[in-house]
Chains A and B, each alone.
Chain A
Amino acid sequence: MAPLLEVQGLNAWYGESHILHGIDMTVGEGEMITILGRNGVGKTTTLRTITGIVRARKGKISFAGTDMMQVPLHKTAHKGIGFVPEERGIFSTLTVSENLMLPPVVAPGGMTLNEIYELFPNLYERRTSSGTKLSGGEQQMLAIARILRTGVRLLLLDEPTEGLAPVIVQRIGEVLKTLKERGMTIVLVEQNFRFASRIADRFYLMDHGQMVSEFPVGELPQRMDVLHKVLGV
Chain B
Amino acid sequence: MTMIFGIPLQALLGQLLIGLINGSFYALLSLGLAIIFGLLRVINFAHGAQYMLGAFVAYLLLNYLGIGYWPSLILAPVIVGLAGAVIERLFLRRLYDLDPLYGLLFTFGLALAVEGTFRYLYGSSGQPYATPPALAGGMNLGFMFLPIYRGWVVIVSLVVCIGTWLLIEKTKLGAYLRSATENATLVQAFGVNVPVLLTLTYALGAGLAAFAGVLAAPIYQVSPLMGSNMIIVVFAVVVVGGMGSIMGAIITGYVLGIAEGLTKVFYPEASNIVIFVIMAIVLLIRPAGLFGRDA
With A103-B191, A104-B190, A106-B191 already in contact, the answer to whether A73 and B185 are too (CB < 8 A) is yes
Contacts of A51 in B (CB 8 A): 189
The answer on a CB contact under 8 Å between A53 and B183 is: no
| B195 interface residue per 8 A CB criterion | yes
Query: A99 CA to B178 CA in the complex, in Å?
Result: 11
* CB-based nearest B residue for A152: B191
Contacts of B176 in A (CB 8 A): 102
Contacts of A53 in B (CB 8 A): 185, 189
How close is A51's CB to chain B, nearest CB, in angstroms? 5
| A78 interface residue per 8 A CB criterion | yes
With A89-B183, A91-B183, A92-B182 already in contact, the answer to whether A102 and B189 are too (CB < 8 A) is no
| A113 interface residue per 8 A CB criterion | no
In the complex, chain B residues 182-202 whose Cβ is within 8 Å of any chain A Cβ: 182-183, 185-195
| A101 interface residue per 8 A CB criterion | yes
The answer on a CB contact under 8 Å between A78 and B187 is: no
With A89-B183, A101-B172 already in contact, the answer to whether A77 and B178 are too (CB < 8 A) is no
Contacts of B186 in A (CB 8 A): 83, 85, 89
Query: Contacting B191 at CB < 8 Å: which of A76, A85, A94?
Result: A76
| B125 interface residue per 8 A CB criterion | no
The answer on a CB contact under 8 Å between B189 and A83 is: yes
In the complex, chain A residues 75-94 whose Cβ is within 8 Å of any chain B Cβ: 75-78, 83, 85, 89, 91-94
Contacts of B178 in A (CB 8 A): 91, 93-94
The answer on a CB contact under 8 Å between A78 and B191 is: yes
| B101 interface residue per 8 A CB criterion | no
The answer on a CB contact under 8 Å between A94 and B175 is: yes
* CB-based nearest B residue for A52: B189
- How many residues on A have C-beta within 8 angstroms of the other chain's C-beta atoms? 24
| A150 interface residue per 8 A CB criterion | yes
Query: A85 CA to B176 CA in the complex, in Å?
Result: 18
How close is B294's CB to chain A, nearest CB, in angstroms? 13
The answer on a CB contact under 8 Å between B185 and A94 is: no
* Residue among A75, A93, A102, A104 with most chain B CB within 10 A: A93
| B131 interface residue per 8 A CB criterion | no
Contacts of B192 in A (CB 8 A): 74, 102-104
| B181 interface residue per 8 A CB criterion | yes
The answer on a CB contact under 8 Å between A73 and B182 is: no
Q: For chain B, give the interface size range.
A: 10 to 19
0/1 interface trace, chain B 163-184, chain A, CB 8 Å (1 if under): 0000000001001101101110
Query: A102 CA to B188 CA in the complex, in Å?
Result: 11
Query: Contacting B189 at CB < 8 Å: which of A73, A91, A93, A98?
Result: A73
The answer on a CB contact under 8 Å between B172 and A74 is: no
How close is B188's CB to chain A, nearest CB, in angstroms? 5
* CB-based nearest A residue for B170: A98
With A74-B195, A94-B175 already in contact, the answer to whether A102 and B190 are too (CB < 8 A) is yes
Query: A51 CA to B178 CA in the complex, in Å?
Result: 22
How close is A96's CB to chain B, nearest CB, in angstroms? 12
The answer on a CB contact under 8 Å between A93 and B191 is: no
Query: A93 CA to B187 CA in the complex, in Å?
Result: 13
With A53-B185, A85-B186, A101-B172 already in contact, the answer to whether A91 and B179 are too (CB < 8 A) is yes
Query: Contacting A94 at CB < 8 Å: which of B179, B188, B193, B195?
Result: B179
How close is B174's CB to chain A, nearest CB, in angstroms? 9
The answer on a CB contact under 8 Å between B175 and A77 is: no
Contacts of B193 in A (CB 8 A): 74
The answer on a CB contact under 8 Å between A74 and B179 is: no
Contacts of B179 in A (CB 8 A): 91, 93-94, 99, 102
In the complex, chain B residues 118-144 whose Cβ is within 8 Å of any chain A Cβ: none
* CB-based nearest B residue for A85: B186
The answer on a CB contact under 8 Å between B187 and A76 is: no
With A101-B172, A102-B176 already in contact, the answer to whether A77 and B181 are too (CB < 8 A) is no
How close is A143's CB to chain B, nearest CB, in angstroms? 10
How close is A46's CB to chain B, nearest CB, in angstroms? 15
Query: A150 CA to B192 CA in the complex, in Å?
Result: 12
With A98-B175, A102-B175 already in contact, the answer to whether A74 and B181 are too (CB < 8 A) is no
Query: A102 CA to B175 CA in the complex, in Å?
Result: 7
Having A51-B189, A53-B185, A74-B188, one finds 4 other A-B pairs with CB under 8 Å, namely A52-B189, A74-B194, A93-B182, A101-B172
Would you list the 10 A-B pairs with minimal beta carbon distance, nearest first?
A: A77-B191, A103-B190, A93-B178, A89-B186, A91-B179, A74-B188, A73-B188, A74-B193, A98-B175, A91-B182
